[in-house]
Amino acid sequence: MIIYEVNLSISGEIKEDFLKWLPSHVEELLALPGFDSAYSFTQLEPSSTNFNMVIQYHLEDLKSLNSYFDQNAERLKQQTFDRFGNSFTANRRILKKS
């Protein structure tokens, strides 16, 4: 199993719109081959200016994740940037179950 983790820091100015949009974005990824499930987490210690959360996508294997990177990642990242601009940041990491 592979976990593709996206750590988000969202400006308070766009928080409500971002949270309304996010489920459809997650569903779009879950429709891709190899994506099994997704879990979202919110940071318990609130930031003074941003809303912080983590989305973890569980994938069958690294091949599925690489396929996503090759075929869909840039398009989806650009769509998100086009909608929200610099009002959020996203840091990603890839984890493998030991």
Give the three-class secondary structure for 60: coil
Domains of the chain in start order, with CATH, are 2-96 (3.30.70.100)
| 61, 2 Cβ separation under 8 angstroms | yes
Q: What is the mean pLDDT of residues 86-91?
A: 96
Q: What is the pLDDT, as a whole number, of residue 32?
A: 97
pLDDT of 46 higher than 80: no
SS3 content of the chain, % helix, strand, coil (to 5): 40, 40, 25
Distance, in Å, from the CA atom of 86 to the CA atom of 25, rounded to the nearest integer, reads 18
Q: What is the pLDDT, as a whole number, of residue 97?
A: 85
| 54, 7 Cβ separation under 8 angstroms | yes
Q: Which residues contact 97 (CB under 8 A, 6 or more apart)?
A: 1, 2, 3
DSSP 71-92: HTHHHHHHHHHHHHTTSEEEEE
Prediction pTM value: 0.93
